[in-house]
Structure 1
Amino acid sequence: MTDTLLLERERGLLTLRLNRPEKKNALTRAMYSQLAQALAMADADPQISAVLICGSHDCFTAGNDIVDFLEQPPADLDNPVFEFMLSLLDCRKPVIAAVAGPAVGIGTTLLLHCDLIYVSRDARLRTPFVSLGLCPEFGSSLILPRLLGQARAAQLLLLGEGLSGEQAAAWGIATEALDSGEAALAKARDVALRFESLPAEAVRISKQLMKAPDREQLRAVIEEEGWLFTQRLRSPEAVAALSGFINRH
């Protein structure tokens, strides 16, 4: 069986590569657990200076694997999805993302917690929570209105409209848009390796200061969203929408 999450170490860089191409890198409970463990390991390892999260050159992730998700839906915050969320939220090392192709649902919202994000111009970011009978997650209901303003955030979170990589960079969701997935990954890798030569404690303190003002509010919002998300999963709207999604695919 192919490993669905590949861990690659290059000097001080740990790369977490989503590797489920036959399912467009859709995330399973096992993958969330592996991601959480890898982030915790990187955070504790003094030899690791940065973490890079990526998919393939043409697909970041299609979001949750709906079938896997519904087989054992999260009933509370004690589950692999939230374990991953908190591990990324609490990671003291710089986290860099390289994005090409689809970045759906949590594939977009996880980017809001990365420090540097490099995308291909034709990447497609989407948060189709409402269309699936669900609600925003991973702090997106707090971060996106603050970052984009209410009107643009409503386009993404209420209407579920897509966003190109080029738009994501223009709107401040991504650091830079590049011509291809290969170029985005190369740039992300080069930038991530730069942290190896920077003073580690100064980097850690600087990230801590940047995150501190919103930290407690963001954690509370993530928990509230998570509780509401688990309730929505059992709603008639979500059951119908998710069943329809599975039948179409």
Structure 2
Amino acid sequence: MEVRVVTEGPVMQIRIDRPDKKNAITVAMYAAMADALEQAAADDAIRVVTIAGSRDIFTAGNDLKDFQQARPKGPDMPVFRFLRAISGCPKVIIAGVSGAAVGIGTTMLLHCDLVLAAPEASFLMPFVDLGLVPEAASSLLLPRLMGRQAAARHLILGEPFDAATALHYGLVTEIVEADRLDERMRAMADRIAAKPPEAVRLTKQLLTSPESTVAERIALEGSLFEERLRSAETAQALAAFFARGK
């Protein structure tokens, strides 16, 4: 299997596993990842999804030969299903990047909530060099993250960048040694899975909601805050908090 999906308790682990082809993603692999993310979104028992590649490479991006044979022709194509699934997933997504993350290997990270990277990780978006244009809403999200000029440097000039630069941009959350990447991802996933689930879901929803004015966002947060105060989940969390203080 070129995409391995394992669910252990509240954590679904997705691993791109095609090292002989530098983890290049085929149409079938996009379908498998979309299936997994859609399953995670629909399953209340799954709280966190992790996505990783191999130690030597995260992914070389699209398998271009496979893509030429099955060119995207509509919204139901597996690549578009995958992009909708990862961008709209209500569960927390943690990515672990070791080695190169090329093309969609970089742009998919814009839709992850937390990204861990090994020191030797590298990032490259060679769309223009291949006569293509950016995807995964990267033309919108990258300028917001790093500024228009830096985004142009990487999307138009196609210059690569390293893990330290990705951390500076805010694309990466933390740099972790490659041999500890899986362990750190799992520890972070378990930590999130132990938190009140609806509070986590709503916080992710707020973080990924469309832009609004400060006043609009304060109002939205306020209404959700009031609902939370009346919830059984919050009552249980507060009781546990006060019990620890005794």
Name the TM tier (shorter chain): 0.7 to 0.9
Q: Which moved more, 1:110-119 or 1:167-176?
A: 167-176
- Give, in angstroms, the shift of residue 199 of structure 1: 0.7
Mapped partners of 1:131, 1:40: distance in 2:
32
- Give, in angstroms, the shift of residue 76 of structure 1: 2.7
Counterpart residue type for residue 116 of structure 1:
L
- Give, in angstroms, the shift of residue 118 of structure 1: 0.1
For structure 2, list consecutive stretches of 5 or more residues without a partner in the other structure.
Answer: 213-246
Mapped partners of 1:182, 1:104: distance in 2:
21
**Aligned residue runs from structure 1 range 211-222, under 5 A:** 211-214=208-211
Which of these residues, 127, 133, 140, is aligned with residue 142 of structure 1? 140
Mapped partners of 1:72, 1:44: distance in 2:
28
Structure 1 stretches of at least 4 aligned residues deviating more than 6 Å after TM superposition: none
Q: Which moved more, 1:134-143 or 1:206-215?
A: 206-215
Which of these residues, 198, 216, 232, is aligned with residue 201 of structure 1? 198
Mapped partners of 2:208, 2:157: distance in 1:
29
Mapped partners of 2:84, 2:114: distance in 1:
18
The aligned residue for residue 36 of structure 2 is: 38
**Aligned residue runs from structure 1 range 228-239, under 5 A:** none
CA radius of gyration, larger in: 2
Mapped partners of 2:76, 2:36: distance in 1:
18
Counterpart residue type for residue 107 of structure 1:
G
- Give, in angstroms, the shift of residue 168 of structure 1: 0.5
Mapped partners of 1:80, 1:93: distance in 2:
20
Mapped pair 1:61 → 2:59? yes
Whether the 8 Å contact between 1:118 and 1:185 is mirrored in structure 2 is: no
Q: Which has the higher contact order (CA 8 A, sep 6+)?
A: 1
Distance change >3 Å, CA 214–CA 105, structure 1 → 2: farther
Mapped partners of 2:211, 2:26: distance in 1:
29
Mapped pair 1:100 → 2:98? yes
The aligned residue for residue 182 of structure 1 is: 179
- Give, in angstroms, the shift of residue 78 of structure 1: 2.6
Mapped partners of 2:72, 2:210: distance in 1:
29
Deviations 1:36-88 (A, max 9, x none): 11001011111111000001112100000011000111123331100000011
**Aligned residue runs from structure 1 range 3-14, under 5 A:** 3-14=1-12
How many residues are treated as equivalent by the alignment?
A: 212
- Give, in angstroms, the shift of residue 187 of structure 1: 1.4
Mapped partners of 1:29, 1:125: distance in 2:
22
Mapped partners of 2:77, 2:14: distance in 1:
20
- Give, in angstroms, the shift of residue 214 of structure 1: 4.3
Whether the 8 Å contact between 1:120 and 1:166 is mirrored in structure 2 is: no
Mapped partners of 2:152, 2:46: distance in 1:
38
SS where residue 103 of structure 1 aligns? Answer: strand
Mapped partners of 1:49, 1:82: distance in 2:
23
SS where residue 62 of structure 2 aligns? Answer: coil
Mapped partners of 1:185, 1:155: distance in 2:
31
The aligned residue for residue 222 of structure 2 is: none
Mapped partners of 1:118, 1:94: distance in 2:
14
- Give, in angstroms, the shift of residue 201 of structure 1: 0.6
The aligned residue for residue 216 of structure 2 is: none
TM-score, length-scaled by structure 2: 0.84
Mapped partners of 2:15, 2:97: distance in 1:
11
